[in-house]
Structure 1
Amino acid sequence: MLDLGNRTSIYQPEQEGLIFPWEPEFDSVEEERRYRKEHLVAACRAFAQEGFDYGFAGHLTVRDPERPELYWTNPMCVHFAKVKVSNLILVDHVGTVIEGGHAVNRAGFVLHANVHEAHPDIIAMCHAHTPFGVAWAATGRPIDPITQDACAFFEDHVVIGESAGAVAVENHAGNDVAKAFKGVKAAIHQNHGLLTASRHSIDAAAFWFIALERCCRQQLDIAATGIEPIRIPEKGARYSREHVGSDYIGWLHFQTVWNQLIEDQPDMFD
């Protein structure tokens, strides 16, 4: 076990005075709300850059810091690339829009509301219909520890086989998904796609979704060669997950995306 001292991660610099992303501290709930909303928008823009759009499918949520029974989400039928602070909506666990002028995605609120309600510690959640995630979900198999990237999900994701492929539009449809998210950050919903959740931030939930999609692509690419991949031993996979698979590391990875977006897409703050 490495001695990190007062650091959260080995990636935090020991040397003082260097430019490095540090987790924010808030002076008010309004400041924290603005932060969560802006980073939710950035997550949507990042999904657009990754090509995760598919019509109106796909939904990202983050809890309101003052009213945790409510969550902010992207509006129905607005492309990820066009989501901005001003068109986010605030919804409750039954899908009522509390703030905002757009409708809510019915399937989105069913899945996310069930997870948020069952797990008060989960702050944010992501789901989208992505090419490789959907394809890998059709296999009903978990991600194997065959790369360092994949080790981030070792023993930290599940495959959900119940209600596989059925559209989640009834309130009870998200129950299986909610049960599955006990103590893990990701789920592969068989015949449907990928879901990620974070007890830390929308930044972490979004980055781990992007990472999981990449892992699905790698699995499919390797499977297409017909060559049996070499699995990383369990001890090594756990060690890697400990250092590269935490919520904090997901947040830290996303700051690279955030910095690029705030420079290139300032309209997201409109």
Structure 2
Amino acid sequence: MLDKVKTTLSPQQQAAAISIYQPKQAGLIFPQIPSFDNHAEERQHRKERLVAACRAFAQQGYDYGFAGHLTVRDPEFPELYWTNPMCVHFSQVRVSNLILADHKGKVVEGDYAINRAGFVLHAAVHEAHPDIMAMCHAHTVYGTAFAALGKPLEPISQDAAAFFEDHVVIRDEAGQVAVEEKAGLAVCDWFKDVKAAIHQNHGLLTASRHSIESAAFWFIALERCCQQQLMVEATGQTPLLVSPDRARYSREHVGSDYIGWLHFQPIWDQLSKTQPDMFD
């Protein structure tokens, strides 16, 4: 029935695994983190995944006029970051219309203008935290509604436990449009050692030290968790929470940057096969 025997990985290989989801059996098809021979290859990879993240946001219905901005740091010039162009629908973002900007908001490559609010928030975070590779923000229905409560998510499920003690509620500049640089400075310090933030009266933001894929998936996951908690609270019943020790265990195994990257792989596969124009 099988054309070859699948061998088991050595103890050393298993010890080097970064997730319990990586197969112990050798020879199986499983996503692998890519490696690159040069900056140009890695740049193209990041740009394509940034476009895929924008397309994924379009699929999720995260568009709201020109609001929403996704960024990823350039691999060769880390003081620069790639982002989606101003006033282009997420579904129409493609490699050719991405823009490259510096931390002062100057477009150094590309034809489109930059989103002022995106520059203010993302540039401040990227500049203050050199380890953060990518960020995502959009004006979503449930995330914005939940942000009005000014409170953190509760561990009501395994999904929500992925954010346990790994997100913050930011109240600085709450509800005020972030178009002045001081607004970005007020927000950026909150992103130390967390992957997500709920900005009161504004919405959700996620950051990744790993990849744009991870930042994008955890944004999608955070929006779903906000929706789920709002639904539970609407019942008027008090939910049973995952205990802190179990929530931390779940976060450790299903809440990492790597797991966010892994979750995005089927999204990437579906988009790359059905929307080839994103590579234009």
Task: Tell me the TM-score range normalised by the shorter chain.
Answer: over 0.9
The answer to whether structure 1 residue 47 and structure 2 residue 57 are counterparts is yes
Letter of the structure 2 residue corresponding to residue 92 of structure 1:
D
Shift of 1:79: 0.1
Alignment of 1:101-112 (within 5 A): 101-112=111-122
- Deviating above 6 A after TM superposition, structure 1's stretches of 4 or more consecutive aligned residues are none
Q: What SS class does the counterpart of residue 62 from structure 1 fall into? A: strand
Identity %: 72
Shift of 1:6: 1.5
Distance 1:267 1:136 in 2: 35
- Pair member with larger Rg: 2
The answer to whether structure 1 residue 247 and structure 2 residue 260 are counterparts is no
Show the counterpart of 2:74. Answer: 64
Alignment of 1:1-270 (within 5 A): 4-270=14-280
Letter of the structure 2 residue corresponding to residue 39 of structure 1:
R
Letter of the structure 1 residue corresponding to residue 211 of structure 2:
S
Letter of the structure 2 residue corresponding to residue 189 of structure 1:
H
Shift of 1:246: 0.1
Shift of 1:172: 1.0
Instruction: Summarize deviations over 1:217-254 as a string: whole Å, max 9, x none.
Output: 00100010001000111000000000000000000000
Distance 1:27 1:204 in 2: 22
Q: What SS class does the counterpart of residue 15 from structure 2 fall into? A: coil
Shift of 1:64: 0.3
Shift of 1:176: 2.2
TM-score (ref. length: structure 1): 0.98
Shift of 1:177: 1.6
Instruction: Summarize deviations over 1:60-89 as a string: whole Å, max 9, x none.
Output: 000000000000000000000000000000
Shift of 1:164: 0.3
Q: What SS class does the counterpart of residue 257 from structure 1 fall into? A: helix
Distance 1:176 1:214 in 2: 27
Unaligned runs of at least 5 residues, structure 2: 1-11
Give RMSD over aligned pairs: 0.8
Letter of the structure 1 residue corresponding to residue 195 of structure 2:
K
Shift of 1:17: 1.0
Distance 2:200 2:214 in 1: 23
Unaligned runs of at least 5 residues, structure 1: none
Q: What SS class does the counterpart of residue 135 from structure 2 fall into? A: strand
Shift of 1:162: 1.0
TM-score (ref. length: structure 2): 0.95
Letter of the structure 1 residue corresponding to residue 104 of structure 2:
V
Shift of 1:52: 0.3
Number of equivalent positions: 268
